[in-house]
A = this chain, B = another copy of it.
């Protein structure tokens, strides 16, 4: 392995000067700089990130933490988009991304421990189970963090405008003449709660009664199958709603499957609106009307905020990303 000492020896300068060159210090002559750069090139020198981190206490690494309990992980389209966006800006600013789990070295530990041992400069937290004590511990630490789909006083957060999106969905259904609008929620998550809140606000705003039997809790995992199961609940009702607003496209697709399985059809018998606008949404039958959230932007914004924080920014920021209703074929006028 070629080190700065090799370059120093070969050029006759000191390791200090060599180091200065690579760190862009101004107190090195142009000539010396050239010689050192050329020699580095010639010897195939590459810096050693570990050695650098050891002295500078900066790893240029960002930890990425996403929930592990559901088992779906990256398979959910939400994560993919967010991580892609995040990675894009983090990389361009010189950071690498590392997955952070509860375990390290094959042993149980905790997120905070993991972060400290690895010396990450900051952490993005995606869709966490916010009752997890290890998560709380991280939140209360002084490590720079940004939370997605989460609210917090101590850390910066970014999330989609779930409330507005839900209200828009309800208003759209209302405009089509629907009055009996059910809601399938996405488990006990921040986004789920906000969407539920939006549903209720929307209904109330329009003077529509919120019926308890019209609200069903889907499970946390946001899988198609869970959506199917949730819809089954609704289909047991004596008088069916004329529309369902579903807190996730996977869910919605499952729900539509359930409706079809009951010999009913969408949108003829029941109209449906989803949330997310996954790629598949426009290709399922009927093409899904849904609230689009821009996960890529979510990720990019999160990276901006985290890096701001890592680089000394002390202000706790909060970004709410607008969503947009995309009208397709899963709703009909009454």
Contacts and interface: CB of A to CB of B under 8 A. Distances in A.
Size bracket, chain A contacts: 35 or more
Contacts of A237: none
Nearest to A287: B257
Contacts of A101: 87, 91, 96
B73 A84 contact: yes
A290 interface: no
B253 A283 contact: yes
A4 to B, nearest CB: 14
A60 interface: yes
A276 to B, nearest CB: 12
Given A80-B74, A104-B96, A119 B50 contact: yes
A224 to B, nearest CB: 5
Contacts of A46: 113, 116-117
Contacts of A93: 106
Smallest CB-CB A-B distances: 8 pairs: A94-B106, A74-B80, A75-B80, A50-B53, A285-B285, A98-B98, A50-B50, A94-B105
Interface of A: 46-51, 53-54, 59-61, 73-77, 79-81, 83-84, 87, 91-94, 96-101, 103-107, 113, 116-119, 223-224, 250, 253-254, 257, 260, 279-280, 283-285
